Amino acid sequence: MDEIFKQALPVLQKLTAAGFEAYFVGGSVRDFLIGRKIADVDIATSAFPEEVKEIFPKTYDTGIEHGTVTVRENGTFYEITTFRTEGTYEDFRRPKEVTFIRSLTEDLRRRDFTMNAIAMDAAGRFIDPFRGKEAITAKQICAVGDPHERFHEDALRMMRAIRFVSQLDFQLDQATRQALQENKALLAHTAVERKTTEWVKLLQGKAVNKALKLLVDSGVEVYLPGLQGKQEALLQLATWHFSKLQDELATWLLLAAAVKPESASQFLRAWKLSNKTIQVVSKAYERLMDYPEEWTATDLYYAGEQVLCLVGSAFEIMYAKDGVVNELLKQYGELPIHSRDELMADGRDLMAWTGKAPGKWLKITIEKLEKEIVQGRLSNTSDAIKRWVVDEESR
Ligand code: ATP
Ligand code: MG
């Protein structure tokens, strides 16, 4: 058994000692069987949330309405979710209500794919009523039960299928692939935020190339923000060297670079990203689209470290280059200053030296000063700046 499961064993044991069933489930069991790094361990139990709370001295109601209670064991937090079925589905979205049940098999039945519907008990035995292990051996993604029904219940599962193709380098079995083709339009009803989560994982997977081809072949892009009619851009994106990709911001930058939207910020806003992400990625996008042949000191300074890293890594990925980020950071490091805070004089000094009251001149003078110093025409010392300011005033 993997160390990460061993550490979590006391949680299972406490539940079973109290007379309940408890298992490891979901992505952790799948990733263990694949030999992939396990992200986090999810636990499913026959105990109802109130019963879980009686067993553990301290619990957190992180998702209590869905039956999830978080507990802490040896400094690690674990989510314990009561076996459940997911009542009625409205509008092809995740159901609002869930029903708690005592049957593991019924809990596994509501899961999306057979590879995600395997449970493992405290002794390391697998409970695999839908033959998920076979699917894993065959590298296949198969819906649990009838794929049409399952995609009707929750259309996001189609995005998840493609995301798993990318992360695991598996393929959809024929029935699941067919159901994707026939039901993709249901994705129009799925909340953007849920699509965004899957999309980021998709673009960061090791078989992103294959996943993007599947996405375009099945026409799913039509239901993703700003990607209607962008098949070619997505296929181009698929050819870039994604193995270097680590960062979510760079993912969005590359997507924008492939799609070339009229307004990057509008495009990113459609994916409901945070304002901070939109701002940084849009700035990086402008710079990437207008990539300098030689980076001047002012180019580097006004880009700033974060944007330089983003633009540099996107450039490396698009053009299969090495060392671009390092080179940009080296040049950036050699700048005399990196922000206004590093100037050896501030507004108060400027007013004292000139005897002038605050006003618009101050902002203009500081901006000019910044440029002089960045471009190496003036040294960043209090004396030099004073001389320059007094000179400037007398001009
Ligand atoms: P990851 O490694 O990215 O976390 P995961 O398989 O654990 O992958 P989660 O979103 O964490 O994915 O979901 C945990 C489990 O819950 C899944 O393995 C699956 O059994 C089930 N699940 C998640 N989302 C759905 C869904 N939309 N429909 C049905 N089952 C789902
Ligand atoms: Mg998970």
Question: Selecting from 1.20.58.560, 1.10.275.30, 1.10.3720.10, 1.20.1530.20, what CATH number does the domain 243-334 have?
Answer: 1.20.58.560
Average pLDDT over all residues of the chain? 94
**Segment among 136-140, 228-232, 235-239 with least mean pLDDT:** 235-239
Q: What is the pLDDT of residue 92?
A: 63
Long-range contacts of residues 373-380, Cβ cutoff 8 Å, at least 24 apart: 373/336, 373/337, 373/343, 374/297, 374/298, 374/301, 374/335, 374/336, 374/337, 375/297, 375/298, 376/297, 376/336, 379/336, 380/336, 380/337, 380/342, 380/343, 380/344
Tell me the pLDDT band of 239, cut-offs 50, 70 and 90.
Answer: confident
pLDDT digits (tens, 9 = 90+) for 35-55: 999 988 999 999 999 999 999
**Ligand 1 contact, 157 CB (< 6 A):** yes
| Burial class, 40, CB count within 10 angstroms (exposed 0-12 / middle 13-18 / buried 19+) | middle
42 marked as binding residue: yes
> Which residue has its alpha carbon closest to ligand 1 atom 25?
112
* Cβ count near 131 (within 10 Å): 15
> Which residue has its alpha carbon closest to ligand 1 atom 9?
27
| 140-239 placed in CATH 1.10.110.30 | yes
> Which residue has its alpha carbon closest to ligand 1 atom 18?
26
pLDDT digits (tens, 9 = 90+) for 79-125: 999 999 986 666 666 666 788 999 999 999 999 999 999 999 999 99
Q: What CATH number labels 340-394?
A: 1.10.246.80
Domain 1-138: what homologous superfamily? Answer: Beta Polymerase, domain 2 (3.30.460.10)
The rounded distance, in Å, linking the Cα atoms of 34 and 47 is 29
pLDDT digits (tens, 9 = 90+) for 307-336: 999 999 999 999 989 999 999 999 999 999
Q: Domain spans of the chain?
A: 1-138, 140-239, 243-334, 340-394
Topology alike, domains 1-138 and 243-334: no
- Residue 108 CA, closest ligand 1 atom number: 20
Tell me the pLDDT band of 130, cut-offs 50, 70 and 90.
Answer: very high
102 marked as binding residue: no
The rounded distance, in Å, linking the Cα atoms of 324 and 112 is 41
**Ligand 1 contact, 27 CB (< 6 A):** yes
The rounded distance, in Å, linking the Cα atoms of 121 and 24 is 6
Distance from Cα 50 to the centre of ligand 1, integer Å: 24
> Which residue has its alpha carbon closest to ligand 1 atom 1?
27
Report the residue among 111, 118, 183 best suited for mutation to probe ligand 1: largest number of ligand atoms under 8 A from its CB: 111
Q: What is the pLDDT of residue 244?
A: 67
